[in-house]
Structure formats: structure tokens, C-alpha cells
Amino acid sequence: MKRRTFLNMNVALTVLVALSVISLAQADPNDWIIIQLSDNDFEDRYPVISGSNVVWQGNDGNDWEVFIYDGNSTIQLTKNDYEDQAPQISGSKVVWQNNEGGDYEIYLYDIDTNNITQLSDNALNDSNPRISGSNVVWLQWDGSDHDVFIYDGNTTSQLTNNAYQESNHGISGSNVVWMSDEGGDYEIYLYNIDTNDINQITNNTYIDQNPQISGSNIVWYAPYGGSDSEILFYNGTTTTVLTNNSLDDQLPYISGTNVTWQGPGNNEWRIFSYDGTSTIQITVNEYRGMVPQISGSNVVWSGADDYGFVDTEIFIYDGIKMTQLTDNSYEDWAPRVSGASIVWQGTIGGVLADNEIFLAIPRCYPKPAADLNSDCKVTLKDLAILFSEWLECNLYNQADCVN
């Protein structure tokens, strides 16, 4: 096993921006299309999105099955007498766990080819699959601890084989991350499929946990330098401490070099975001945030829309403004984001409440740069606007208008 420990810790420049600078808007029907993907009397839970494809687990009245929305319609992928759970998606490929035979096995489905492949086949529990492209990683319980297994698009192999507990695994492209309790506390490990190298990213006496990965960038939280937890960021070479305070910052998520996480304040969770250079505080007291997710510069979370905390709603921050997507009397929670498209589950139905799956799509994304009349189209109307101001120059020094 090849190990590389990077101990160069630098506190990142932190710039806090008050929420009053970040405007809050209600979702405008002209800006957002919200679609209810499921509508039944049973539980639909844990939606995940990749591009225009959404996957979740739904109860058909007998057991859990896997459902897919392909951008046009919802289909039931599995229909059997066994539990199909924990689906994940990357592009057109879906993975999940199925307990046919008394233990869980991992299955892979390709939306384009309509083929299902069984990736594991043994008498042990294989669970919690994660997928990126054609690569899949999961955990296997050997009777005493969990080990990491990987499918590289062709073959399945065992990545770890030890007496330690591996958990919180993730994958991005050819990079796999997990945490292991080797040495009595949890450390972070990184594996590259192409080079077959395992690197130990952390080596200390405290618990490093919840690693998340995007490319070769990793983020996690740990009680670095004190009793409270801080957010740490690894860029493939060095580790940077993104927070430095006396509060518990936790549950970070990452997209490229953009990171989001939640930190406490005045009896509620506040949402923070790091753009690769500086940190901003997105929410303050009146919008309690929980478990933020990120894709690009878009951050989503569920939070109360008032101090009464009657129910939770879905919010998005696009790097400029914050928008409240839902406004109802039931719980909207567990949002996930891909680009600017968002899925979540909402608990509706009154006394007989069950969770349904919802999708929010921006009506125009991304807006064309030449769309001068904001109709999301570049037409002769935009050309007319351009020509109506052709050669107009409003420079203070009119002499600069000559060229």
C-alpha cells in the first residue's frame, strides 16, 4: 500500500458576507418548472439526480423497488419480491442493492442499452453502492468489518482487505475515497483506479470523517486543533483548513473546487459556501439550513421559512441570490442538485402522509449571452435591440468613443 501524508495545513482566507447582501426571492413560475414525479399512496424516498435523469426507491405496497425518471416519464425499473434499495445514478447508469437470496448484492442498469448487470454474487452483504461513469464502489460486510469493493466497468475487485472498518466511501471519475478506523481513529484514504495507488491523506490522532470527493479534490470535517469540528479541503496536493472557529462545522459537500457545509448559530444551522478562494455565509437566523448540497455554484438545502419551524422548504443559492422554491404546509426535504436541476421528497397527504418525489427545473438555463430581451431565445427581436443602440456610447470621456 502506497501512503502519502500531506501535513501542510493553511487556514483559508475567509470573507463573511451578511445575508442582507444576499437577496431572497420566492420561486417565480416564469423562472422555475416544478414537476411531481411520483403520485401514489406509498413511500417514495431518497431521490438522486444526474443531468435530466432521476432515480429513487419507492414502496409498491409490498417492498422497496427502484424508479427512474428519464427526463420525460417515470418508469419502475425493478418489480420483484425483494428489497431494492439505495439507488444511485451517474449519467445513464444506475446502481442499487438487492437482497434476493437473503443477502444484498449490487446491480448495475444502463438506461441506454436497457441491460442489467449483477456486479457481486456471494453470501455476504454488499451495500451502499456509489457510481461515477462506469465505475462503481461499495462496501462488503465480511462478518467483522466492512471492506471496499470496486467495479471498473469490466471486472469487480476487492480494494481493501484488513481488520479495520471502512465507511463513508465515494467516487468521482477514477478516484475513490473512504475513511478507515485504522489506528483507533478514522483517517481518509484515496485510491486511483488508473494508477492502482492508495494514498493516506490524513495521519493524526483525531477523527476525520464524512469525506466527499470531486475529481481529485476531497473535503471532510474533523476536530482539527480543538474540540469542535472544522472543514478541511484537499486539492490533490495539499490540505487547507476552510474554517477556524469555536463552532461545529460539518457535513461538507463538494463540486469541483466549490464547497458547502453547515455550521451552528443561535439554535439553527447556517449554510456556508467556499468558491476556491473565499468563504461566504449564505444564511443567517431567519432561514435555518440543513444538509446543503452543491453542483457548480448552485447550493441547495432544506430549511424552515419562519421561526416557528412549522415545516421545511427547499432553497437554492445560485451564487448571486437565494430563492425559496417551495412554500407549502408540508415537509420538503433531502434535496439533491445536478447543474441547476433539483430533486427532493415532500411529505404530503395529511393524516395518511407519505413522501412523493419532486423535480424543479429552471425554465431557462443557461441563458444565452445574446438574449437581450430575456425570453431565452436569440431571435430577430434581440437583433432589433442591438441595432436600436448601435454605435451608442455612454463613456464619460466621449473622446474614448472614437475607437
Asked whether 262 and 268 are in contact (CB, 8 A), the reply is no
Asked whether 324 and 332 are in contact (CB, 8 A), the reply is no
CB neighbour burial string for 189-201, b if at least 16 within 10 angstroms, e if fewer: bbbebeeeebbbb
**Cα–Cα distance list, 377 to 52, 243, 364, 370, 383 (Å):** 21, 42, 9, 8, 11
| Residues 203, 51: Cα–Cα separation, whole Å | 37
CB neighbour burial string for 155-165, b if at least 16 within 10 angstroms, e if fewer: ebeebbeeebe
What are the tens digits of pLDDT across the range 290-316?
A: 899 999 999 999 988 665 556 889 999
pLDDT of amino acid 211: 97
Within 13 Å and on the Cβ side, how many CA atoms surround 188? 29
Which ranges of the chain have pLDDT less than 70?
Answer: 1-27, 29, 266-267, 285-288, 305-310, 350-352, 403
pLDDT of amino acid 403: 67
pLDDT of amino acid 5: 40
pLDDT of amino acid 290: 85
| Residues 129, 139: Cα–Cα separation, whole Å | 7
CATH number among 1.20.58.2240, 3.40.50.2300, 2.130.10.150, 2.60.40.10, domain 9-369: 2.130.10.150
* Cα of 220 vs its chain's centroid, Å: 14
| Residues 219, 234: Cα–Cα separation, whole Å | 6
Please give the grid coordinates belonging to residue 118. 449483477
Angle formed at CA 232 by CA 230 and CA 238, multiple of 5 degrees: 150
pLDDT of amino acid 261: 96
Residue 143 burial by Cβ neighbours in a 10 Å radius (0-12, 13-18, 19+):
exposed
Q: Model pTM? A: 0.87
Residue ranges per domain, the chain? 9-369, 370-403
